[in-house]
Structure 1
Amino acid sequence: MIKRNLLVMGLAVLLSACGFQLRGTGTNELSIKEIDLGARNEYGPTVMQLRRTLQSSGVKVYSGAPYKLVLTNEQETQRAATYSGGNRSAEYELTTVLNYTIEGQNDSMLLEDKLQVQKYYVYNGNNVNGSGQEANQVREEMRRDLVQGMMARLQQLTPERLDELQRKANERAEAEARALKEAQRIQDETPQQSPMEIPAP
Structure 2
Amino acid sequence: MMKRNLLVIGLAVLLSACGFQLRGTGDVQFAIKELNVTARDAYGDTVQELREVLNRNDVRVHAGAPYKLIISRETENRRSASYSSGARTAEYELTMALEYEIRGARDLLLTSNKVEVQNYYQQDDNNLAGSDQEAAQLRRELRRELIQQLALNLQQITPEQLDQLQQTAEARAKAEAEALEAARRARESQVAPQQSPIELPIQ
Q: Does TM, scored on the shorter chain, surpass 0.5? A: yes
**Distance in 1 between the 2:196 and 2:119 partners?**
69
Q: What is the one-letter code of the residue matched to 2:164?
A: E
Instruction: Determine if contact 1:82/1:90 at 8 Å carries over to the other structure.
Output: yes
Q: Do structure 1's residue 20 and structure 2's residue 25 form an aligned pair?
A: yes
Q: Do structure 1's residue 165 and structure 2's residue 165 form an aligned pair?
A: yes
**Distance in 1 between the 2:147 and 2:85 partners?**
36
Query: What does residue 96 of structure 2 align with?
Result: 96
Task: Tell me how far 1:155 sits from its aligned partner.
Answer: 0.6
Task: Tell me how far 1:192 sits from its aligned partner.
Answer: 3.0
Query: What does residue 126 of structure 2 align with?
Result: 126
Output the TM-score relative to the length of structure 2.
Answer: 0.85
**Distance in 1 between the 2:143 and 2:135 partners?**
12
Q: Do structure 1's residue 66 and structure 2's residue 66 form an aligned pair?
A: yes
Superposed counterparts of 1:47-66, under 5 Å: 47-66=47-66
Task: Tell me how far 1:90 sits from its aligned partner.
Answer: 0.9
Q: What is the one-letter code of the residue matched to 1:157?
A: I
- SS of the residue aligned with 1:36? strand
**How many correspondences in the alignment?**
192
Task: Tell me how far 1:36 sits from its aligned partner.
Answer: 0.4
Name the % identity.
Answer: 43
**Distance in 2 between the 1:62 and 1:102 partners?**
14
Instruction: Determine if contact 1:88/1:124 at 8 Å carries over to the other structure.
Output: no
**Distance in 2 between the 1:118 and 1:69 partners?**
23
Task: Tell me how far 1:20 sits from its aligned partner.
Answer: 2.1
Instruction: Check 1:115–1:196 CA distance in 2 against 1; reply closer, same or farther (3 A cut).
Output: farther
- SS of the residue aligned with 1:168? helix
**Distance in 1 between the 2:106 and 2:119 partners?**
38
- SS of the residue aligned with 2:22? helix
Task: Tell me how far 1:186 sits from its aligned partner.
Answer: 1.1
Query: What does residue 79 of structure 1 align with?
Result: 79
**Deviation string for 1:109-128 (max 9, x for gaps)?**
00111111101111111111
Instruction: Check 1:163–1:191 CA distance in 2 against 1; reply closer, same or farther (3 A cut).
Output: same
**Distance in 2 between the 1:88 and 1:196 partners?**
80
Task: Tell me how far 1:131 sits from its aligned partner.
Answer: 0.9
**Distance in 1 between the 2:19 and 2:122 partners?**
26
**Distance in 2 between the 1:137 and 1:14 partners?**
25
Note the residue ranges of structure 1 that are not aligned, 5 or more in a row: 22-26
Q: What is the one-letter code of the residue matched to 2:28?
A: N
Q: What is the one-letter code of the residue matched to 1:16?
A: L
Give the RMSD, CA atoms, in angstroms: 2.8
Q: Do structure 1's residue 142 and structure 2's residue 142 form an aligned pair?
A: yes
Task: Tell me how far 1:16 sits from its aligned partner.
Answer: 2.1
**Distance in 1 between the 2:132 and 2:20 partners?**
24
Q: What is the one-letter code of the residue matched to 2:25?
A: F
**Distance in 2 between the 1:34 and 1:7 partners?**
34
Task: Tell me how far 1:175 sits from its aligned partner.
Answer: 0.6
Q: What is the one-letter code of the residue matched to 1:177?
A: A
